[in-house]
Amino acid sequence: MIAERESNPREEARSLRNLLRAGETPESVYALIGNDTPYRRRVRLYFDIAIGQKPDSEELKQEIIRCFRSCWAEARIRSALHVSPDIILHLRKNFHE
């Protein structure tokens, strides 16, 4: 497993794409990332997004809610997570209720 550090999980996930270019499989990269801590789960979520895989929907919802709590604009969430405006609108309505 990769050593957890105080870095940006999105940047770490993007750098892991180089392993795919070097011939690794997504499954081997998942094993390298692990799933033990919240940070590792976020790296895995961003890795899924970076390689075009559809992440687990509940995990994606939690990440969008985390972005709301961090006061991200809807456009920033759409850009970062590659989700439709409908999903964000639905979660925003539920988040503010």
1 pLDDT more than 60: no
Say yes or no: 39 and 75 in one domain: no
For residue range 38-96, list pLDDT tens digits in order.
Answer: 888 888 888 887 777 665 567 788 888 889 999 999 999 888 877 778 778 888 887 76
What is the spatial distance between Cα 53 and Cα 56, in angstroms, rounded to a whole number?
9
Amino acid making up residue 3: A
CB 16 within 8 A of CB 47: yes
Say yes or no: 1 and 41 in one domain: yes
Say yes or no: 37 and 71 in one domain: no
* Higher-scoring residue by pLDDT: 33, 1: 33
| CA 45 from centroid of its chain's CA atoms | 3
Q: How many domains does the chain fold into?
A: 2
What is the spatial distance between Cα 28 and Cα 21, in angstroms, rounded to a whole number?
13
Q: Domain span at residue 26? A: 1-54
